[in-house]
Amino acid sequence: MRCDFGDSLLSGYFDCELSAASAAKFERHLQHCAECAGELVELDILSGRLQLEQLYEAAPPSLRKKIRAKLRPVTPTTAMPRQLLWHWLAAATALLVLLIAGWRLSSALHSDDYRAELAAEIVDAHVHSLQQGHLIGINSNDGQALKGWFRGKVTFAPPARDFANDGFALQGGRVDVLEDRSVAVLVYTHCRHSINVFIWPTRERDTSPHAGSLQGYQWIDWREGKIEFCAASEAPAADLQQLQRLFAE
Amino acid sequence: MNDLDAEDRLRFEQLVLPHVDAAFNLARWLLRRREDAEEVAQEALLRACRFFRGFHGGDVRAWLLQIVRNTCYSRLEKDRPRELMVEFDEELHLQPVATPESIAIANNDRERLTRALEALPSRFREVIVLRELEGCSYKEIAAIMSIPIGTVMSSLSRARRQLCLALADSSCKEAVREV
């Protein structure tokens, strides 16, 4: 046996979707109907179970990556003049040789494990920041305002500078956690790409920039004046290098 | 596929891409196959990108989920002959996706809930996913499924009752098994 009156309104009442008048009417009914009262509890238990077991399945990271890749404008190879293609190929080969040489050289100089782990964390943090609401803690392009905001949140003063004139507009900052410590993050935009610059104090000596890419994202890391910087973005590596030079100036 | 200019593409990335999880989750529950969900969600997002010029503000999640839903149903429709054949071939040695028995023998609550949800008729499954997992309002669900708000309420009510029954039934069987 089911209560006919309650049947049509119970779900709406439970979801707070009834008009005030209907809700009041249903509440009056609820005082006398043990059946509806019991069913309301059951709905609550069901809802709780569904939430508790986290049946919500988030998209795998590969999906976001694939969609972003498809959104990028692609120049069709066939339309490319032959001569230009050769130039590209030559440039790509040269770049590859450089990359290999750079990689061999740098692997001798740097601890690869540290870099690989750091890069993975940085790229993860970058991807996470692109999700809604995670990118910016404070919206400002004013270095002083940002420094003030970071005071008390991190143990050092991150060098917040706007490079809008050079095409890297400072959007703001936030605090993130990297390798179990709080780091300052400055967020720039450049040609519709977001660039996260993660900044934290270090005891190591200065190093020249060290760059790499992971899962389609580029990163560049350097140390200067007891501060370590690592920028990550889907922007081309050359853009990150330009930003690095601006920081170093 | 790049019909959008740079400005529209940026708007698309900012407005639509935050809802990739919602798109995937709905596809996963509608198709009942995680493997297909990624492909179909991707197809739906690319369709959304094509239709983006036609989106004139409003609830972007509801707009996207409507496209995801349509893409899922076209896929199910297209796969139907294959699914029937597969089921026919494998009938002898494979259990269907979910039955009261399989719900009962699932060894934890999550699995039990998953199977019970997968066993619901698709329209009921859809309202539960949109309301309970995605947290959509009745108005949004009505827009996504193109049905009146009254139908959202009655479908939810019936869907929840079926789900409660399936779960109660399974816990009875579980209790019997334990005895």
In A, minimum Cα distance to B110 occurs at A53
- pLDDT score of A76: 46
* Cα gap B4→B26, rounded to integer Å: 26
Residue A78 lies in a domain: no
CA A194 to chain centre: 9
Q: What pLDDT, in 10s, does the model give residues A81-122?
A: 566 677 778 888 888 888 877 766 655 555 566 677 778 888
Q: What pLDDT, in 10s, does the model give residues B45-72?
A: 999 998 888 887 788 999 999 999 999 9
Query: B77 near B69, Cβ under 8 Å?
Result: no
Q: Are A59 and B49 in contact (CB < 8 Å)?
A: no
- pLDDT score of A106: 57
CA A125 to chain centre: 5
Compute φ and ψ for A197, nearest 5 degrees.
-110, 110
* Cα gap A118→A210, rounded to integer Å: 12
Q: What is the CATH number of the domain that holds A169?
A: 3.30.200.100
* A130 and A234 in a common domain: yes
Q: Are B137 and A17 in contact (CB < 8 Å)?
A: yes
* Cα gap A33→B139, rounded to integer Å: 28
Q: Are A49 and B109 in contact (CB < 8 Å)?
A: yes
Identify the sign of the CA torsion B99, B105, B110, B113: positive
- pLDDT score of B98: 58
Query: B173 near A28, Cβ under 8 Å?
Result: no
Q: Are B132 and A74 in contact (CB < 8 Å)?
A: no
Q: How many domains does chain A have?
A: 2
Q: What pLDDT, in 10s, does the model give residues A128-169?
A: 787 756 788 888 888 888 888 888 788 888 999 999 988 999
Identify the sign of the CA torsion A12, A13, A17, A22: positive
* Cα gap B79→B82, rounded to integer Å: 5
Residue A94 lies in a domain: no
Element (H, E) at A207: strand A207-214
Q: Which domain holds residue A156?
A: 111-248
Q: For chain B, which residues score pLDDT lower than 70? A: 1-3, 80-107, 169-179
Query: A208 near A245, Cβ under 8 Å?
Result: no
Residue A105 lies in a domain: no
* Cα gap B162→B121, rounded to integer Å: 10
* A236 and A121 in a common domain: yes
Residue A242 lies in a domain: yes
- HSE-up (13 A, CA, CB side) for residue A135: 20
Q: Which of A200, A202, A187 is nearest to A233 (CA)?
A: A187
Q: Are A15 and B131 in contact (CB < 8 Å)?
A: yes
Cα–Cα separations (whole angstroms), residue B14 to A87, A133, B10, B82, B103: 35, 11, 6, 38, 40
* A239 and A168 in a common domain: yes
- Chain A residue numbers with beta carbons less than 8 Å from the beta carbon of B117 are 55
Residue A71 lies in a domain: no
- pLDDT score of B3: 62
Q: Are A63 and B41 in contact (CB < 8 Å)?
A: yes
- Chain A residue numbers with beta carbons less than 8 Å from the beta carbon of B160 are 11, 43, 46
- Domains in chain B (CATH in brackets) are 1-85 (1.10.1740.10), 95-179 (1.10.10.10)
- pLDDT score of A154: 84
Q: What pLDDT, in 10s, does the model give residues B146-170?
A: 999 999 999 999 999 999 988 886 6
* A239 and A145 in a common domain: yes
Task: Identify which of B18, B21, B157 has the shortest CB distance to residue A11.
Answer: B157
Query: A69 near A216, Cβ under 8 Å?
Result: yes
**Degrees, nearest 5: CA angle A148-A149-A153:** 110
Q: What is the pTM of this model?
A: 0.54
ipTM score over 0.90, yes or no: no
Chain A contact for B94, CB < 8 A? no
> What is the percent of chain A with per-residue pLDDT over 70, rounded to a whole number?
88
Beta-bridge partner residues of A170: A188
Task: Identify which of B9, B20, B109 has the shortest CB distance to residue A64.
Answer: B20
Residue A144 lies in a domain: yes
Query: B142 near B156, Cβ under 8 Å?
Result: no
* A125 and A222 in a common domain: yes
